[in-house]
């Protein structure tokens, strides 16, 4: 399978690429001014032929919703909305069958922490730019999927814990993040497990930590995801 991963300078993107490369042909991309840009394909995801060329021949796009905090607020939101839109437009034109949007459980952050929140709950993002970016990017993805232009799976990831130290109630260990993406690459989700249409599905992804705040039953049923016990 040919896989394109955006935001290649992110630690999780590099980790994903290393894990997926054993079984797939993985291509990494990032904006032209990204750190380490010389080691991957450069594309600013504009509405032009370069973005079409980037996705041409790809089977699945893995797109990061995480924003570059070094940019201005307007620049970050531009990435979240316009660049995501351009990527989806090019992917739909090139007949790419699936895009996996790597979102964050922070978009549910305003719900009371004592509640066990599922995908059926409406997003409740805070006003932080990074959180709004995830939310707005997911909104763009959802509209493309509902127009039947492309199949989109949004994985709302928990708080990444790289050292397996003390974990929050929404913790996600890297191996579980990789597992969720691996499952989403091939999952048959035509019944729309957590979304309102067959082309749009949302799953909460976190590890099985004590007092886990977000339920992963939909991902376990729809993707075959099995969070690692801790």
pLDDT at 194: 46
153 DSSP β-pair partners: 100, 201
Query: For the domain bounded by 2-222, which CATH number is listed?
Result: 3.40.50.720
Q: Domain spans of the chain?
A: 2-222
- pLDDT for 195: 44
For residue 159, the Cα-to-chain-centroid distance in whole angstroms is 13
Low-confidence residues in the chain, pLDDT < 70: 164-165, 190-197, 230
Nearest to 172 by CA among 206, 144, 141, 217: 206
pLDDT value, residue 34: 84
Q: Give all strands of the β-sheet with 151-157 in edge-to-edge order.
A: 41-42, 25-30, 2-5, 60-64, 98-104, 151-157, 200-205
Question: What is the per-residue pLDDT for 191?
Answer: 52
Residues 143 and 192: their CA atoms lie apart, in Å, by 15
106 and 129 Cβ atoms separated by less than 8 Å: no
Give the contacts of 61 (CB within 8 A, at least 6 positions apart): 3, 4, 6, 55, 87, 91, 96, 98, 99, 100
What's the burial of 59, exposed, middle or buried (CB within 10 Å: 0-12/13-18/19+)? middle
pLDDT at 196: 45
Note if the pTM is more than 0.85. Answer: yes
pLDDT of residue 44: 95
Q: Which residues contact 58 (CB under 8 A, 6 or more apart)?
A: 2, 3, 4, 27, 91, 94, 96
Query: Cα–Cα distances in Å, from 184 out to 57, 99, 113, 180?
Result: 19, 9, 27, 6
What number of other Cβ atoms are within 10 A of residue 113's Cβ?
Answer: 10
Q: What is the dihedral of CA 97, 98, 99, 104, to 10 degrees?
A: 160
Q: Give phi and psi for 66, each to the nearest 5.
A: -65, 135
d(CA 226, CA 83): 32
């Amino acid at each position: 399978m040919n896989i394109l991963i955006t935001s290649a300078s992110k630690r999780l993107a590099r980790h994903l690429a290393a894990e997926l490369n054993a079984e797939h042909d993985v291509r990494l991309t990032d904006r032209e001014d990204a750190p380490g840009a010389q080691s991957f394909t450069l594309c600013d995801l504009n509405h032009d032929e370069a973005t079409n060329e980037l996705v041409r021949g790809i089977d699945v796009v893995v797109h990061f919703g995480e924003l570059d905090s070094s940019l201005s607020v307007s620049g970050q939101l531009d990435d979240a909305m316009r660049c995501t839109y351009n990527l989806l437009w090019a992917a739909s034109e090139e007949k790419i069958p699936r895009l996996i949007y790597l979102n964050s459980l922070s978009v549910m952050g305003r719900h009371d922490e004592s509640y066990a929140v599922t995908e059926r709950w409406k997003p409740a993002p805070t006003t932080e730019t990074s959180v709004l970016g995830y939310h707005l990017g997911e909104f763009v993805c959802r509209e493309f999927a509902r127009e039947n232009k492309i199949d989109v799976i949004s994985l709302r990831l928990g708080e990444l814990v790289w050292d397996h130290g003390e974990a929050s109630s929404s913790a996600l260990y890297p191996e579980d993040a990789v597992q969720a993406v691996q499952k989403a690459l091939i999952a048959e989700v035509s019944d729309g497990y957590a979304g309102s249409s067959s082309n749009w599905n949302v799953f909460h992804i976190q590890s099985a930590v004590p007092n886990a705040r977000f339920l992963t039953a939909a991902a376990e049923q729809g993707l075959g995801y099995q969070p690692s016990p801790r």
